[in-house]
Amino acid sequence: MDYRSAPAAGLLLLSIFTASRGAIGEDEHEGEEGAIEYLEELRASRVDLNRAGREELMAIPGITASVAARIVQVRLEAGGYRNPADLVRYGAISEELYRVVVPYLQIGSESARQGEELSIRMREVAESPDGRGGSMERGRYFRARWGRGEFWKAGFLVERDTGESEALTGWKGSMMHRTRKGPLDRVSVGHLSVEFSRGLFFFTRSRFDQRYLMNGSVGRRGGGVGFDLSAADGLILQGLGLDMVLPSPATLTLLAASTPLDASRDGRGAVTSIRPSSDRSLFGGDLRLITLAGYLDWRFSGNGSFGVLLADLRYSEPLSPPVDGDHRHELRGSEQRLLGFDLDMAVSGLGLTGEGGLEIGRGFGLLLGLERGSGPARWSVLFRHFAPDFHAPFGNPYHDASGPPTNEQGFFTGAGARVGRDVRLSVYVDTSRRLWRRPQEAFPAWKTDLGIEGKWRPGEGVWVTFRGEDEMGFRGVSGELLPVNRMSRTNRFRFQLEWEDDPVEFRGRYELAVYEAEGEEREYGDLLLFDSRYHPMRPLTLDLWVGFFGARTIHSAVYAYVRGLPGAMSVVPLVGEGFRWYLTGQYRLGNDLSISFKLGQATREPDEGGGEGGVTGTQEWSFGLQFDYTPLS
């Protein structure tokens, strides 16, 4: 089963599985390969803007739940998208986000994937952790895929890694069988894969000599069943999933999984070894055990959808840091029951979106959004609330030296309007309250942002944008002031110019931030970006990007594209903290066969204070070659 088709429950199981693999020391390059593999598959089977629901849109990196709800809302109001650029034209997403997600979007279905398809890829990477030569790590892999028709895929992967420093040598192989259906068919997406490796698992000084991973599903129109099984000297993860299509338009997904691991830590709290637990209980605090999760998705005809998630999780967490002389954490077992929902509706021009969850004994979290559009004007409200400890187990982006906040409550309201064809104005206010926790106490803090933005089009192809934002800062309550660095007040200003007149495109942006702290002088931070594109002739495109961050840091890149028959080629040198360039090309031989390659080299600057014996820099070469054979049917 493709767990991306069931967002809430599937992501829970996927996160547990990813955490278990990361905890036993899977190499970060393998994680990158997994991410690249996911993006390649997403690019090969793009999302149809006029048929995808929120969950399909949220599978694209960069599209959050609120953005996905906005895309669906605009689609309902506009009666559908005619091309992906309508996302920007109708104000569904920003142009910056559009540039990121457009490779994964399409209108309608692609007919080029109806016939046979063969893809062969080879790559070699050589990395020198020492700028003077030092030890080298190399990796090579060979991947072949074959597809017939729209739904059938099969693949084979052979990979070899060698490294002198750790004497790491191993092989890895996998075979895949994959079926794919359209998103509105509401049937499961199935795959079957087997992966084996020897000598590829390293975690500090601990080695797992073998690992087995198997996951797959079988299904047909109306439902499917899938499973996951992984082992490294014993059982690590096991899971079972069931996907059923209820009487239209509902879908039900059930998942069950366990992660029995036992972890040993040193005096600093770092894990020194991991082994399968004999009693199948969970220790270590890093991994969790999902015993049951269910997700029900109900679609309203033409107006939105409603989903419910029910999950029962058991995991262990440390009670306190290790005491001097004792290398063990004191752990306790915890049980967490979560009831969640998500809502997306559009009724008579009024859009309602919501996400929420209730954790028994911990509190609840809630996000509710309301949007109303009338003619050229639009008004939106968003309320968010996280009760104490609701999201503490999942990490927190607001953590700092004052302690992590365990409570947040905020209210956002904004209004925008179009004045004629050439002027757009918007104003918003964002107020949030966070409860910051210290070792012996907790105290709340408030923060308010006031923003205004205007866009003016003085001529065809030219946009001028101004944005100002005033951050009112934090203030303490309960008679106690927050630290000085939390009493800061920040003002941000942005000026942006966009100009397009074939064959030239230009975008410039300048941002200024003023930081004011009690008892301290003002501090300034500025950012200057230039992005220009030039088409001197039809097959050639030059793209220059330069960024100035303050007075010391400069990043730049030059892109050169040559497009035309029989293929395309680009050179991209990047300058910043180090230097990187790569050359890519794609050439089509006839109507069925294409060859693409990528050659790159990167040099990274050394860490400050490396001194003698430290790392003086890194150099990395990479080479990739791919053949694609797709007979047109």
pLDDT in tens, 113-170: 344 555 565 555 554 444 333 334 455 556 566 655 544 555 555 555 444 333 333 4
Is 51 within the bounds of a domain? Answer: yes
- pLDDT band with cut points at 50, 70 and 90 for residue 20: very low
Is 32 within the bounds of a domain? Answer: yes
The pLDDT of residue 368: 84
Q: Is the pLDDT higher at 454 or at 81?
A: 454
Give buried/exposed letters for 438-474 (b at 16+ CB in 10 A, else e): eeeeebbbbbbbebebebeeeeeeebeeebebbbebb
User: What does the angle CA 582 – CA 583 – CA 585 come to, to the nearest 5 degrees?
Assistant: 145
- pLDDT band with cut points at 50, 70 and 90 for residue 171: very low
Does the pLDDT of residue 47 top 60, yes or no? yes
Q: Is the pLDDT higher at 204 or at 247?
A: 247
| Euclidean distance between CA atoms 450 and 374, whole angstroms | 24
Is 319 within the bounds of a domain? Answer: no
Does the pLDDT of residue 8 top 70, yes or no? no
**Tally of domains within the chain:** 1
For residue 268, give the 3-state DSSP assignment. coil
The pLDDT of residue 94: 77
pLDDT (mean) for 199-222: 37
Is 88 within the bounds of a domain? Answer: yes
Residue type, 257: A
- pLDDT band with cut points at 50, 70 and 90 for residue 53: confident
The pLDDT of residue 599: 76
- pLDDT band with cut points at 50, 70 and 90 for residue 350: confident
Number of neighbours of residue 364 by Cβ within 10 angstroms: 16
Q: What is the pLDDT of residues 453-505, one digit of tens each?
A: 898 888 877 888 888 877 665 444 333 333 333 445 677 888 888 887 777 88
The pLDDT of residue 596: 74
The pLDDT of residue 197: 39
pLDDT (mean) for 39-50: 67
- Across the strands, what pairs with 611? none
The pLDDT of residue 196: 41
The pLDDT of residue 227: 53
| Euclidean distance between CA atoms 184 and 188, whole angstroms | 11
Please report, rounded to a whole number, the percentage of residues in the chain having pLDDT higher than 70.
Answer: 37
Residue type, 113: R
> Half-sphere exposure (CA, 13 Å, Cβ side) for 230?
21
Residue type, 84: P
What is the residue range of 16's domain? Answer: 1-111
Q: Are 594 and 587 within 8 A, CB to CB? A: yes
| Euclidean distance between CA atoms 370 and 361, whole angstroms | 29
Please report, rounded to a whole number, the percentage of residues in the chain having pLDDT higher than 90.
Answer: 0
Is 331 within the bounds of a domain? Answer: no
The pLDDT of residue 475: 45
- pLDDT band with cut points at 50, 70 and 90 for residue 225: low
Instruction: Provide the greatest CA pair distance for the chain.
Output: 77
Work out the mean pLDDT of the chain and round it to a whole number: 60
The pLDDT of residue 594: 72
In the numeric block, the tokens 């084996």 are attached to: 196
Is 591 within the bounds of a domain? Answer: no
Distances (CA, A) of 562 to 103, 185, 593: 19, 40, 20
The pLDDT of residue 158: 56
Pick left, alpha or beta for residue 578 (phi over 0 → left; psi -120 to 50 → alpha; otherwise beta): left
| Euclidean distance between CA atoms 122 and 599, whole angstroms | 12
Q: Are 438 and 406 within 8 A, CB to CB? A: no
Q: List the one residue out of 124, 30, 130, 125 whose CA is nearest residue 619.
A: 130
Most confident range (mean pLDDT) of 12-21, 248-257, 595-604 is 595-604
Is 577 within the bounds of a domain? Answer: no
Q: Is the pLDDT higher at 396 or at 149?
A: 149
Distances (CA, A) of 542 to 308, 536, 538, 571, 584: 49, 8, 11, 10, 15
Q: Is the pLDDT higher at 6 or at 553?
A: 553
Is 477 within the bounds of a domain? Answer: no
Q: What is the pLDDT of residues 279-306, one digit of tens each?
A: 333 333 334 455 676 777 777 766 677 8
Q: What is the pLDDT of residues 542-598, one digit of tens each?
A: 777 777 776 556 667 676 666 554 555 556 666 655 676 767 776 767 666 777 777
